[in-house]
């Protein structure tokens, strides 16, 4: 359901093709809501059927016609109503945590490789967040007040990604350090839980 409304949100900013929507997802919200091209086109078809978007065919000389989608008034109404609703509680799926739940079956080298691969991926994502923040900061000063206020939501979600990513990296680094100095134990980990909850 959220994919439909994310699409409406992007189309409320400006008209876009399905391909441009995919690029917009990848450049802005991919760290918390990914979408594949097929899913975007399916959702656009449903939104058009429901009267929430409409499209214009734009002829191209050497390629098939482009469909440029824009939000309708009923689409804006539906988007605003959805934005005001409390969010659904998501069903979490964390592949790494499922693997670590059964970590006692891994040998020491495989366990370390698993953590290191995840840490490398997190470092890459944090570097991307730093790039987003630099682009947003440079762009902010060139915009008028109305356009600047439109960046509030993206800045909020970027803050979420950065802070959670830094905490996740810290957790992985701690596990790797304990693994490497052979101090990774149930007792030590339960102490971490108690300390974390005691400071919450």
What DSSP assignment string belongs to 15-51? -B-HHHHHHHHHHHTTTT----HHHHHHHHHHHHHTT
- pLDDT > 90 fraction of the chain, expressed in percent and rounded: 72
In this predicted structure, the answer to whether residue 38 has a pLDDT above a threshold of 80 is yes
Same structural domain for residues 111 and 49?
no
Burial 67-105 (b: 16+ CB within 10 A, else e): bbbebbeebeebbeebeeeeeeeeeeeeeeeeebeeeee
Domain housing 123: 95-198
What residues are paired with 91 via a beta bridge? none
From residue 163, give the alpha-carbon distance in Å to each of 166, 169, 176.
5, 10, 20
Q: Is residue 90 part of a domain?
A: no
pLDDT at 22: 95
What residues are paired with 197 via a beta bridge? none
Same structural domain for residues 58 and 123?
no
Q: Please identify, among 46, 62, 84, the residue that sits at the C-terminal boundary of a domain.
A: 84
Q: pLDDT (tens digit, 9 = 90+) per residue, 148-185?
A: 888 899 999 999 999 999 999 999 999 999 999 998 99
Shortest CA distance to 2 belongs to which of 95, 94, 78? Answer: 78
Q: Is residue 103 part of a domain?
A: yes
Q: Please identify, among 37, 55, 84, the residue that sits at the C-terminal boundary of a domain.
A: 84
- How far apart are alpha carbons 143 and 150 in whole angstroms? 10
In this predicted structure, the answer to whether residue 120 has a pLDDT above a threshold of 90 is yes
CATH of the domain at 64: 1.10.10.10
| Cα torsion angle, 180, 186, 187, 191, sign | positive
pLDDT category of residue 115 using cuts at 50, 70 and 90: very high
Over residues 47-61, mean pLDDT = 92
- How far apart are alpha carbons 34 and 24 in whole angstroms? 11
Q: Is residue 22 part of a domain?
A: yes
pLDDT at 200: 62
Q: Please identify, among 84, 117, 136, the residue that sits at the C-terminal boundary of a domain.
A: 84
Same structural domain for residues 77 and 162?
no
Same structural domain for residues 76 and 159?
no
Burial class (CB in 10 A: 0-12, 13-18, 19+), 184: middle
Q: Is residue 74 part of a domain?
A: yes
pLDDT category of residue 99 using cuts at 50, 70 and 90: very high
Q: Is residue 134 part of a domain?
A: yes
Arithmetic mean of pLDDT over the chain: 92
- Cβ contacts of 148 within 8 Å, gap of 6 or more: 140
Number of domains the chain is built from: 2
In this predicted structure, the answer to whether residue 199 has a pLDDT above a threshold of 80 is no
Contact 99, 114 (CB under 8 A): yes
């Amino acid at each position: 359901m959220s994919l439909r409304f994310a699409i409406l949100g992007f189309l409320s900013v400006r008209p876009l093709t399905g391909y441009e929507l995919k690029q917009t997802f990848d450049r802005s919200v991919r760290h918390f809501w990914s979408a594949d091209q097929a899913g975007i086109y399916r959702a656009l078809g449903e939104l058009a059927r429901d009267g929430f978007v409409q499209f214009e065919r734009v002829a191209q000389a050497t390629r098939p016609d482009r469909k440029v989608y824009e939000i309708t008034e009923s689409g804006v109404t539906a988007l605003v109503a959805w934005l005001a609703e409390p969010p659904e509680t998501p069903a979490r799926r964390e592949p790494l945590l499922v693997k670590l739940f059964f970590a006692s079956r891994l040998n020491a080298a495989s366990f370390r490789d698993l953590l290191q691969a995840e840490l490398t991926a997190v470092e890459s994502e944090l570097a991307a967040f730093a790039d987003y923040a630099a682009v947003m900061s440079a762009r902010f000063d060139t915009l008028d007040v109305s356009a600047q206020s439109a960046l509030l939501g993206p800045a909020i979600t970027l803050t979420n990604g950065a802070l959670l990513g830094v905490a996740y990296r810290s957790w992985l680094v701690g596990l790797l350090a304990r693994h490497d100095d052979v101090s990774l134990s149930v007792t030590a980990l339960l102490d971490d839980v108690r300390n974390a909850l005691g400071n919450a």
